[in-house]
Amino acid sequence: MSEAKFRTPKGTSDILPEDHQYHTYIKKAVRHRCRQAGFKRIDTPLFEKKEIFERGIGEHTDIVEKELFMVGSHHSEEGMEAFALRPEFTASICRSYIEHGMKQLPQPVELYSIGPAFRHDRPQKGRYRQFHQFDLEVIGLSDPSLDAQLIHVCNKIFKDLRIFDRLTMQLNNIGTAENREEYIAALKDYFIGKERNLPDLDRTRLETNPLRLLDSKEEDTQILLKNAPTLDQFIGDESKEYHETVKEYLGELGAEYVENSHLVRGLDYYNQTVFEYWDNDTGGKNAVGGGGRYDPLIEMLGGQATPGVGFAGGMERIIYQMKQAGVQAPHKDQIDVFVAQLGPEAKKKCLSTISELRDLGVHTLGALGEASLKSQMRLADKFGAKYTLLLGQMEVKAGTIILRDMAAGKQKESKFEKAVPEIIKLIGKENLDTYVLRDGFNEQDED
Ligand code: AMP
């Protein structure tokens, strides 16, 4: 039984070292593929004015209506301000695009971000209150080739993570805002007199956000929808052509997809292309990622009309898929050398040996306490160290040190000064964990 008095808040979890291996692996794949495709990294604050999410995502979407995590109201010069933790990245990144005049940059501006997002939903499997996303945005131009290329980069990331075979990419075109207005009017007409048969939640949705009925999980709603007008009947010729071109380009890139006319995505800002990655077991319930084109968004946020297309992947759901697929996240957390010592002189000498080994790229632990050499050896074993260096009072006097190969269970005595070069030889130069600061940029330290 755990003795913990305090626990993580509901719907959140600690990322323990064994899961960080997966997070790091995903981040590396994302950074690598993004850099190859010319994306640059951006981080926006974890919270923004609530209004940004209301305007961008839509007041009557689940995300804003039910799931926004408020961070209290604060006095500012203008009065009370309401802030919310970001439920997703797109609205914040578009706010940043406007704020920093990125329209002056060569277009499209390609940005990516990795970090936590928050939704105050009822926690359940695959649905948390704090979760992590990676997010890609291509802002400034509207062209089917950008949609296809973005999807292609996402495919590459899922391939790198070795879960691509477990997913299908669902693709749809939801037309323009006008197309959807006409469709919504037709849908409302269709439901006149049928409202009573809708479950409560969907009856409300019919008023506030009728498109949400399309991906309703309620059986009664689904039955009623069978004879309802469908969105594709209202998509204009231009959008249809756009969609055909996206598909043609996807074909050119060898990217497979499933056409899904029910895919609408819950957010107000989307138009034209929408897509989601569904896993083969749970389908749309626990999509690992989704995105689409959001040409109206920047104007909705007060900027000049500027088109964009983006994607967000959910790290926790991706990690779940990786684990299901038996993908091991490679990591560098192993301990190469444990330094065991006995006596004050030995302890002092060990400190610089440990420091020297670490600087050379050897993962080194040691000189922890005053325990006997025997129990330190046991500790070395528990840490999984490959080698142990032993320095007792006798060795200090003789100017020697004992080097033990833990797996082979063999040890030998050598001159104290020879120990470090000997260890380096055994580990092999290619396995040393060193990094080079190139032009002031240290990639391995990037979070
Ligand atoms: P969305 O834009 O809502 O489709 O979110 C994009 C991706 O983020 C989803 O496909 C999920 O992988 C992930 N995601 C969204 N909400 C949650 C949540 N509450 N818990 C865990 N992952 C989530």
Asked if pLDDT for residue 335 goes beyond 50, the answer is yes
Amino acid identity of 145? S
**Mean pLDDT of the 98-120 span:** 97
**Ligand 1: which atom is nearest the Cα of residue 312?**
6
What spacing in Å lies between the alpha carbon of 88 and ligand 1's midpoint? Answer: 8
d(CA 318, CA 19): 12
**Ligand 1: which atom is nearest the Cα of residue 123?**
19
**Ligand 1: which atom is nearest the Cα of residue 314?**
12
Q: Do domains 17-175+235-324 and 337-431 have the same CATH topology?
A: no
What spacing in Å lies between the alpha carbon of 207 and ligand 1's midpoint? Answer: 25
412-421 CB contacts, 8 Å cutoff, 24+ apart? 416/349, 416/391, 419/353, 419/389, 420/353, 420/356, 420/357, 420/360
Q: Residue 52's pLDDT band (boundaries 50, 70, 90)? A: very high
**Mean pLDDT of the 159-179 span:** 95
Most confident of 188-202, 205-219, 403-417: 403-417
**Mean pLDDT of the 108-135 span:** 96
Query: DSSP letters along 322-335, please?
Result: HHHTTPPPP-----
Q: Residue 77's pLDDT band (boundaries 50, 70, 90)? A: low
pLDDT digit string (tens) for 262-289? 888 877 788 999 999 999 988 888 899 9
Supply the pLDDT for residue 446.
55
**Mean pLDDT of the 178-203 span:** 91
Cβ contacts of 320 within 8 Å, gap of 6 or more: 126, 286
Using a 6 Å CB cutoff, which residues line ligand 1?
Answer: 88, 119, 121, 126-128, 131, 133, 287-290, 312, 314, 316-317
* CA-based nearest residue to 129, from 289, 12, 272: 12
* Backbone angles phi and psi of 428, in degrees to 5: 95, 130
pLDDT digit string (tens) for 253-269? 999 999 998 888 877 78
Q: Residue 81's pLDDT band (boundaries 50, 70, 90)? A: confident
Collapse the DSSP code of 82 into the 3-class scheme (helix H, G, I; strand E, B; otherwise coil) and give the result. strand
* CA-based nearest residue to 339, from 395, 256, 278, 274: 395
Supply the pLDDT for residue 447.
61
Copy the structure tokens of residue 55: 């305007």
**Mean pLDDT of the 38-62 span:** 90
**Ligand 1: which atom is nearest the Cα of residue 128?**
20
Q: Are 13 and 52 in contact (CB under 8 A)?
A: no
DSSP code of 430? Answer: G
**Mean pLDDT of the 193-215 span:** 87
* Backbone angles phi and psi of 333, in degrees to 5: -90, 10
Asked if pLDDT for residue 401 goes beyond 80, the answer is yes
Supply the pLDDT for residue 445.
47
**Mean pLDDT of the 47-69 span:** 86
d(CA 257, CA 40): 27
98-102, 306-310, 369-373, 438-442: the lowest-pLDDT one: 438-442
Taking CA atoms only, the protein residue closest to ligand 1 atom 20 is 127
Taking CA atoms only, the protein residue closest to ligand 1 atom 17 is 127
Asked if pLDDT for residue 367 goes beyond 80, the answer is no
Domain borders along the chain are 17-175+235-324, 337-431
Q: Are 48 and 86 in contact (CB under 8 A)?
A: yes
d(CA 429, CA 406): 20
**Ligand 1: which atom is nearest the Cα of residue 318?**
12
**Mean pLDDT of the 392-411 span:** 95
The CATH superfamily holding the domain 17-175+235-324 is Bira Bifunctional Protein; Domain 2 (3.30.930.10)
Asked if pLDDT for residue 396 goes beyond 60, the answer is yes
Supply the pLDDT for residue 1.
52
**Mean pLDDT of the 114-120 span:** 97
Cβ contacts of 447 within 8 Å, gap of 6 or more: 27
Query: In CATH, which of 3.40.50.970, 3.40.50.720, 3.40.50.800, 2.60.40.10 is domain 337-431?
Result: 3.40.50.800
pTM of the model: 0.90
Supply the pLDDT for residue 103.
97
Supply the pLDDT for residue 78.
65
Supply the pLDDT for residue 440.
57
Pocket test for ligand 1, best of 113, 118, 133 (most atoms within 8 A of CB): 133
Q: Which residue has the higher pLDDT, 248 or 71?
A: 248
d(CA 147, CA 32): 19
Supply the pLDDT for residue 299.
94
b/e map of 90-129 (b: 16 or more CB within 10 Å)? bbbbbbbbbeeebeeeeebbbbbbbeebbbbbebeebbbb
d(CA 90, CA 93): 5
pLDDT digit string (tens) for 406-446? 999 999 999 999 999 999 999 999 999 987 766 655 554 45
d(CA 41, CA 109): 11
The overall average pLDDT reported for the chain is 92
Asked if pLDDT for residue 87 goes beyond 80, the answer is yes
